[in-house]
Amino acid sequence: MICKACPRECSADRSVSRGFCRMPENFVVARAAKHFWEEPCISGTNGSGTVFFSGCSLRCVFCQNHEISAENFGKEISDERLMRIFDELIAQGAHNINLVNPTHYAERLARVLKEYNSSVPVVYNSGGYEKVETLKKLEGLIDIYLPDLKYISPDRSLKYSGAENYFDFAAPAIKEMIRQTGSPVLDENGIMLKGTVVRHLILPKNTNQSVKIIEWLSENIPRDTYISLMAQYTPVIHSEKYPELNRGITRREYDKVLDALENSGFYNCFVQEMQSSGDEYIPKFDLSGV
């Protein structure tokens, strides 16, 4: 398989070698379990059936999941085993199947989901660094898109994620996700059945980025789109190279971005409390459920 699924377009033949994502053609999974710390409309009361894929098309220097995104921890599994994992999560009562960091497996997932025909909504939970061309192959197979919009300035995305063209791809990708899902649909218990939730993580000393992102969203996507403002940044990796990231966000930074969101015109918003930061909210990557 010559892989051009993500914006890197590294063209690796993942059947015999590894590309930028460091992953083979087969799925590599680090954890499959119910998760209760997603947005309320995703986790609900029963939890979201998360499947954490190893590898990544980004190189975020602050990644809380670095053990699987950069250190390649995980177990290689077959398509059939992945479908049985879906069955097991649904049997446990999960509200949905939540595909976490699936970008580099998007094309293979399209084939699996065509065969699987899930009985619960399928969530595509990604860093936002996507090709529209690849997303189109998932149309009709994904019920809920849960993308990040991390940066708007190329210097920041290059510095922190090694992707100078991050916004050039993330912006049209988010528009495509919203086109596919349409206006949000929730059930009588407030659980999302269809829609897009755009996430943004506030980074310390980067609030101007956050404000610009909120302004861009307000000018470019429908006002009924769900916006999730995340305050959970936790400095799990300390580096002299990025001293500004060696702390959590301050109350002043939090309030500045929150004010921008409150003035944006969006009315379906989730906002994390500052207490949401901390190691206890990071999943344990121990091959649970794999």
Taking each helix axis from N to C terminus, what angle separates 207-220 and 251-262, rounded to the nearest 10 degrees?
A: 10
Backbone angles phi, psi at 73, to 5 degrees: -65, 140
Round to whole Å and give the CA distance between 123 and 141: 10
pLDDT tens across 141-161, in order?
Answer: 999 999 999 999 999 999 999
Supply the pLDDT for residue 237: 78
Round to whole Å and give the CA distance between 181 and 197: 10
pLDDT tens across 245-284, in order?
Answer: 999 999 999 999 999 999 999 999 999 998 766 666 678 8
pLDDT tens across 47-80, in order?
Answer: 999 999 999 999 999 998 989 998 999 999 999 9
Question: pTM, whole model, 2 decimals?
Answer: 0.97
Percentage with pLDDT > 90 across the chain: 91
Give the contacts of 104 (CB within 8 A, at least 6 positions apart). 3, 5, 6, 19, 21, 23, 53, 55, 56, 57
